[in-house]
């Protein structure tokens, strides 16, 4: 270990592995963590058949993470499967998210006149090209706010709600007073991703869960000369007299380095708490009701529908993605915590699950770095948020990459290099 390295990456979470935790744990470890006993009930199936992602997130089929995977050629180590359904909670019911003008016409989310208005808006978004002013209809979307753009089409609050939160994947309503170009790009990404595999959602997910991603990046790093040191306890980051990082010590040995990449848990003095995530983890023996028998699904519950300040997210995956024994489903309900009672706070999402075999609740703090990385060469990632998709996570990875290397990663890649597994 007593050698010098350009960069030391601490931890095996996904962000850290992409730059060189989203670790899958088997059923027994999960049971011990939450229940304290050694043996889960026999009716839950074999522990070895579970690959439970502690922070599960679906991958947008045309999104930035897929581009990163292709850019690094890590896709050769991975197999993906399309996610069955993408839904939104509205007026107490679960509805499929309409992403195109034709789907808008069929959606029960809107009345007949609202459908026509929504269809016109969807056509505008589908036709919009940033480089072609003819498609802008006289509006500069870098100056026009989303609120002003929506007002032009006369859409009602319910329609705005599912467009902003379930299609554009905004986490709160601040986007309404920001330039509309970001929302339009997000909607286009959703529609393009949906069309990619002709499935019921714009998302894909790795077979055997997200734990495959860090393993794949670990293999890739090793191929290009990266060194892996596993099971190193109590890693202490060392600094020189100028306050710059100079190494990492574990078990009396110090590996010298010029830069360190890590999550907030390694350098608590260089981060601040910015929130808390509440979540429930459930094991079930059936798909989520009212989702067309989908074996993998995301449901977004917009904040206004629940009278909250932030959205709630429901993630479900099953044996079809090889993350549970035959006939078993794993569901997560997560949100930004606004109280100290996660069980009560998560009720709107948990109530959509139907009967559960087992359910546990927990909270974890969300932190972000406050250090100046140019002064100490410590590159600290932000904690994972409550969302059940990867868009915000990849933004953090790409920002860290730019800070570490001084370069912007070119993500213009051939998207056909990644494909989803057949049924």
Q: Using alpha carbons only, what angle is made at residue 207 by residues 201 and 208, rounded to the nearest 5 degrees?
A: 130
CB 262, CB 271: distance < 8 Å = no
Whole-angstrom CA distances from 288 to 167, 202, 359 are 21, 19, 14
Residue 105 CA to residue 87 CA, distance in Å, equals: 16
Question: What pLDDT is recorded for position 30?
Answer: 65
pLDDT at 423: 41
Please tell me the predicted confidence (pLDDT) of residue 45.
Answer: 83
* Count of other CB atoms within 10 angstroms of residue 312: 27
Question: Using CB atoms within 10 A of its CB, is residue 186 exposed (0-12), middle (13-18) or buried (19+)?
Answer: buried
> In angstroms, rounded to a whole number, what is the distance separating the alpha carbons of residues 72 and 40?
39
For residues 333 and 313, is the Cβ–Cβ distance under 8 A?
yes
Contact 324, 49 (CB under 8 A): yes
> In sequence order, what are the beta bridge partners of 88?
95, 300
Q: Assess contact for 13 and 22: CB atoms under 8 A.
A: yes
Backbone angles phi, psi at 188, to 5 degrees: -65, -40
As a whole number of angstroms, the distance between CA 422 and CA 317 comes to 16
Distance CA 152, CA 338 (A): 34
Q: What is the pLDDT along the chain (423 residues), one digit of tens a residue?
A: 567 877 887 876 667 666 553 333 445 566 777 777 767 788 888 888 888 877 888 989 988 888 888 887 888 888 899 999 999 999 899 999 887 778 888 888 889 899 999 999 999 999 999 999 999 999 999 999 999 999 999 999 989 998 999 999 998 899 999 999 999 999 999 988 988 877 788 999 999 888 888 788 778 777 777 777 777 778 899 999 999 999 999 888 899 999 998 889 899 999 999 999 999 999 999 999 999 999 999 999 999 999 999 999 999 999 999 999 999 999 999 999 999 999 999 999 999 999 999 999 999 999 999 999 999 999 999 988 888 888 778 888 888 888 888 888 777 766 665 555 444
Token pair listed for 420: 């989803």
Task: Please give the structure tokens belonging to residue 6.
Answer: 């350009």
H/E stretch holding 244 reads none
Q: How far is it, in rounded angstroms, from Cα 114 to Cα 44?
A: 46
> Cα(100)–Cα(264) distance, rounded to whole angstroms?
40
């Amino acid at each position: 270990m007593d050698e010098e390295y350009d960069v030391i990456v601490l931890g095996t979470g996904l962000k850290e592995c992409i730059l060189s935790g989203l670790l899958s744990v088997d059923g027994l470890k999960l049971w011990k963590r939450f229940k304290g006993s050694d043996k889960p009930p026999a009716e839950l199936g074999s522990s070895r058949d579970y690959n439970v992602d502690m922070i599960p997130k679906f991958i947008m089929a045309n999104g930035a993470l897929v581009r990163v995977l292709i850019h690094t050629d890590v896709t050769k180590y991975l197999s993906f499967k399309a996610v069955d359904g993408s839904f939104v909670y509205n007026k107490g019911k679960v509805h499929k998210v309409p992403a195109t003008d034709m789907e808008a016409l069929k959606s029960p989310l809107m009345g007949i006149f609202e459908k026509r208005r929504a269809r016109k808006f969807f056509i505008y978004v589908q036709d919009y090209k940033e480089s072609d002013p003819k498609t802008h209809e006289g509006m500069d979307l870098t100056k026009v706010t989303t609120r002003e753009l929506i007002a032009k089409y006369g859409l009602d609050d319910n329609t705005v709600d599912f467009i902003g939160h379930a299609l554009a994947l905004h986490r709160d309503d601040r986007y309404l007073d920001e330039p509309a170009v970001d929302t339009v790009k997000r909607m286009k990404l959703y529609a393009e991703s949906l069309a990619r595999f002709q499935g019921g959602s714009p998302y894909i997910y790795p077979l055997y869960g997200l734990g495959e991603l860090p393993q794949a990046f670990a293999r890739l790093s090793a191929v290009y000369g990266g060194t892996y040191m596993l099971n190193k306890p109590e890693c202490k980051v060392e600094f020189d007299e100028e306050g710059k990082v100079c190494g990492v010590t574990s078990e009396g040995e110090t590996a010298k380095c010029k830069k360190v990449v890590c999550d907030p848990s390694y350098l608590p003095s260089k981060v601040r708490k910015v929130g808390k995530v509440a979540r429930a983890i459930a094991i079930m023996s059936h798909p989520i009701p009212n989702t067309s028998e989908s074996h993998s699904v995301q449901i977004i519950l917009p904040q206004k529908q629940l009278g909250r300040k932030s959205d709630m997210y429901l993630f479900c995956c099953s044996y079809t993605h090889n993350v549970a024994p035959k006939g078993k489903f794993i569901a997560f309900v997560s949100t930004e915590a606004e109280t100290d009672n996660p069980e009560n706070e998560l009720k709107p999402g948990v109530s959509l699950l139907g009967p559960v075999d087992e359910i546990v609740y927990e909270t974890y703090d969300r932190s972000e770095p406050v250090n100046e990385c140019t002064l100490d060469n410590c590159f600290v990632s932000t904690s994972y948020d409550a969302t059940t998709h990867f868009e915000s996570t990849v933004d953090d990875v790409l920002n860290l990459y730019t800070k570490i290397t001084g370069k912007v990663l070119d993500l213009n890649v051939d998207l056909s290099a990644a494909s989803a597994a057949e049924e």
